[in-house]
Amino acid sequence: MSSIIRVSHISKQFKEIKAVDDLSFRVEEGDVYGFLGQNGAGKSTTIRMLLTLVSPTSGDIEIFGKRLSGHRKDILQQVGAVIEKPDLYRYLSAYDNLAIFAKLSGIRPERDTLMKQLDMVGLAERANSKVKTFSQGMKQRLGIAVALVHDPRLIILDEPTNGLDPQGIADIRSLLIRLSREMGKTLLVSSHLLSEIELVANRILIIDKGRKVVEGSATELLDPSRTIVQVETTDNTAARNKLVTTGWAACLQESSATLRLQMNKADIPVLTSDLVGLGISVQSIQPRHSLEDYFLSLTTPNIHVDTVTN
């Protein structure tokens, strides 16, 4: 497997602000690479450097094995991107938008080809509708179709689900999975929606204040042995007192409002049985998104850089 993107010690300084600070990572061919960080962490600045919209203050970027600084045109011809909200012609139809952007990319595909692109993003039935009538989710999907019109090897999406309703988010998620599994595309997807990245990415990078916090495979970062389980009972204080006297005492975390245990996900059925055996009236047992807890534990004032190796 070859590296599609290699970022080596890049930094970006905007006057007194260091938006990106000595950042290194790689994206392998076929990855759905989740690029995570809170707002202002440096995700968008990094993506703009990958697309040559801004230049690094220092460091080096290679894409497809070529230095970006010396092979910009050749590289970008094989990259499709949507940065925040896609720029579309509101008073033209979805089909006409796609045809125009195809011409701007130097290609003139047949109508059937463009219709297949629209069908892939679920917009074939609205091919002749003006973009101004589209929901934000439909615009996002059309923007992705535009990014794919020249059949790129690499797709870069910056916050593709930002501002979407739950159905729109689900549509984008399904599309990303299809692009990866059925079309074999390599994707770099930035987001702050941790639960969504958990569902689609096979590798993840978390950054904070422009610096790498952790990078690794999703299975490595989302360790099931450290799942956070939140338990609601009719009397949490009494339930905690009973659990303290059992083998679950070491799993308990401090919390005045709820019972929280850190445990192996596979042990949840055993916990449920033991709670019933102790005579505890359980209202709910809910495993929390482990990625969210992991992310929040890392993006605190005292951050330690740790790269997970395969």
pLDDT tens sequence across 186-211: 999 998 777 778 889 999 998 988 99
The residue with tokens 């139809």 is 93
Question: Domain residues for 98?
Answer: 85-151
* 305 inside domain: no
Integer Cα distance of 50 and 12 in angstroms: 12
> Which H helix or E strand runs over 218?
helix 218-221
The rounded distance, in Å, linking the Cα atoms of 26 and 61 is 10
CATH number of the structural domain spanning residue 186: 3.40.50.300
Do both 192 and 256 map to the same domain?
Answer: no
- Residues 133 and 146: their CA atoms lie apart, in Å, by 18
Residues 242 and 131 in one domain: no
Structure token digits, residue 54: 């801004």
Residues 147 and 199 grouped into a single domain: no
Percent of the chain at pLDDT above 70? 90
Average pLDDT of the chain, as a whole number: 87
307 in any annotated domain: no
User: Two tokens at 218?
Assistant: 């999703």
For residue 250, the model assigns a pLDDT of 85
Q: Which of 219, 138, 150, 143 is nearest to 185 (CA)?
A: 150
pLDDT confidence of residue 289:
55
Q: Is the pLDDT of residue 1 over 80?
A: no
Residue found under tokens 């952007």 = 101
- CA angle, residues 105, 110, 114, in degrees to nearest 5: 70
The gap from C-alpha 159 to its chain's centroid, in whole angstroms, comes to 8
Burial status of residue 72 (CB atoms within 10 A of its CB: 0-12, 13-18, 19 or more)? middle
Does one domain contain both 32 and 137? no
Mean pLDDT of 69-92: 91
Read off the pTM.
0.77
Number of domains in the chain: 3
Q: Which of 189, 124, 117 is nearest to 160 (CA)?
A: 189
Mind listing the pLDDT tens digit for each residue in 225-270?
A: 777 788 888 888 888 888 888 988 888 877 656 788 888 888 889 9
At 138, the amino acid letter reads M
Question: Do 69 and 161 sit in the same domain of this protein?
Answer: yes
d(CA 236, CA 239): 5
